[in-house]
């Protein structure tokens, strides 16, 4: 990464910036790592619009690296420690962080730690602020490489965060015949225009913190008996998905994304240290969605990230029917619903 030549000469200065970054929902999942925060298989996701993290970072010169973090105005030392560890690793390539104090004020528009990729939006927002700071120190205007640098930083903190730096559909990970894709950072993916108004109703079955973090879940893939079979299947599903996205074939996309969600949770159940993040109401919602789709023909498909909550994806033309189904048929099975849609990506606040 040569985006910032002369970075070893940068000197810490006072600077403040604020970015908001969206969550994303993976259609083809990344689950398992290789090397240093590199994906074991390619993934593709939909960037959301309303599920956002807003983060304001204040930088100032300091004798040593120091980080303070406040979530909704409340000090969170454990979160600050994660950011500090991240910046310590970055400081080997960007020594300026060794002499910088960073104060983070952050806010989520959705429940934290429940499988709606709060780490993705949160670390993407932080990464954008870091890239902004370095560009400021270099006296550079944001250019075509700015988002690529932010995605590179975000990936080092949280793999799925690399995708939250862009809007629309986003791919991440090397894949044959897709020369623009990289393990190092995510890249925007151009899908058929029929998916420009894709909707996602997030059915929050439980807002409790997960019993096993995504980071720990990735780690358990290291000695998983079905790991290699999963990576092979993920490559096949990725190919099917990008072909269908380009062709405007929503039915094929829907079938793959449901299969991907169930594979993800099956991997948790069959892990050497078995666990589940699903709740009884997760399974109830899945069954009702399948029954309703078969009865009505409305092409709404479910997926899940690493948590119990259901993402129900559908085209804009079916929005009224889907909302009525959720209200009438799933009442009592969820705490709240966030009706979201394809988003344009992050923004400077």
At residue 345, what are phi and psi to the nearest 5 degrees? 110, -175
pTM to 2 decimal places: 0.95
Residue 332, helix vs strand vs coil: coil
pLDDT digits (tens, 9 = 90+) for 121-156: 999 999 999 999 999 999 999 998 999 999 999 999
Token code pair at residue 124: 């993407």
- The yes-or-no verdict on residue 21 having pLDDT over 80 is yes
User: Are 150 and 131 a contacting pair, CB within 8 Å?
Assistant: yes
CB 172 within 8 A of CB 162: yes
- Residue where the block lists tokens 């000695």: 223
Selection from 96, 68, 72 nearest residue 84 by Cα? 68
State the Cα–Cα distance between residues 292 and 294, nearest whole angstrom.
5
For 30-44, what is each residue's pLDDT tens digit? 999 998 899 999 999
Q: Give 213's pLDDT tier (boundaries 50, 70, 90).
A: confident
Amino acid 208: pLDDT = 85
CATH class of 197-341: alpha beta
User: Tens digits of per-residue pLDDT, 241-263?
Assistant: 999 999 999 999 999 999 999 99
Q: Where are the domains of the chain?
A: 7-189, 197-341
CA 4 to CA 9: how far, in whole Å?
11
Q: Tell me which architecture the domain covering 7-189 has in CATH.
A: 2-Layer Sandwich (3.30)
Residue 332, classified by CB atoms within 10 Å of its CB into exposed (0-12), middle (13-18) or buried (19+), is: exposed
Q: How far apart, in whole angstroms, are the C-alpha atoms of residue 277 and residue 49?
A: 25
CA distance 160 to 124: 9
Tokens coding 253: 């996309």
């Amino acid at each position: 990464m040569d985006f910032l030549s002369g970075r070893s000469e940068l000197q810490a200065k006072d600077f403040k910036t604020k970015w908001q970054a969206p969550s994303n929902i993976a259609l083809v999942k990344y689950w398992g790592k290789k090397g240093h925060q590199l994906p074991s298989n390619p993934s593709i996701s939909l960037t959301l619009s309303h599920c956002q993290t807003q983060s304001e970072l204040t930088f100032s010169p300091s004798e040593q690296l120091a980080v303070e973090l406040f979530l909704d105005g409340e000090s969170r030392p454990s979160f600050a420690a994660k950011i500090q560890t991240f910046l310590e690793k970055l400081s080997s390539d960007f020594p300026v962080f060794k002499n910088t104090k960073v104060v983070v004020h952050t806010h989520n528009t959705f429940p934290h730690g429940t499988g709606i990729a709060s780490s993705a939006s949160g670390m993407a927002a932080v990464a954008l602020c870091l890239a902004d700071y370095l560009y400021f120190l270099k006296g550079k205007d944001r250019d075509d490489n700015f988002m690529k640098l932010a995605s590179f930083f975000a990936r080092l903190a949280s793999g799925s965060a690399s995708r939250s730096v862009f809007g629309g559909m986003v791919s991440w990970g090397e894949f044959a015949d897709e020369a623009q894709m990289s393990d190092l950072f995510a890249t925007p993916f151009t899908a058929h225009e029929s998916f420009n108004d894709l909707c996602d109703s997030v059915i929050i079955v439980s807002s409790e913190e997960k019993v096993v973090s995504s980071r720990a879940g990735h780690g358990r893939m290291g000695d998983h008996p079905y790991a290699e079979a999963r990576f092979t299947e993920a490559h096949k599903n990725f190919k099917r998905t990008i072909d269908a996205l380009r062709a405007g074939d929503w039915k094929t996309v829907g079938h793959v994304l449901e299969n991907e969600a169930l594979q993800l949770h099956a991997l948790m159940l069959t892990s050497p240290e078995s666990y589940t993040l699903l709740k009884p109401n997760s399974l109830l919602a899945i069954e009702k969605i399948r029954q309703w789709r078969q009865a009505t023909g409305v092409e709404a498909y479910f997926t899940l990230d690493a948590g119990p909550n259901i993402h129900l994806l559908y085209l804009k033309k079916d929005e009224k029917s889907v909302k009525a189904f959720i209200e009438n048929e799933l009442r009592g099975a969820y705490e709240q619903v966030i009706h979201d849609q394809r988003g344009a990506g992050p923004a400077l606040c």
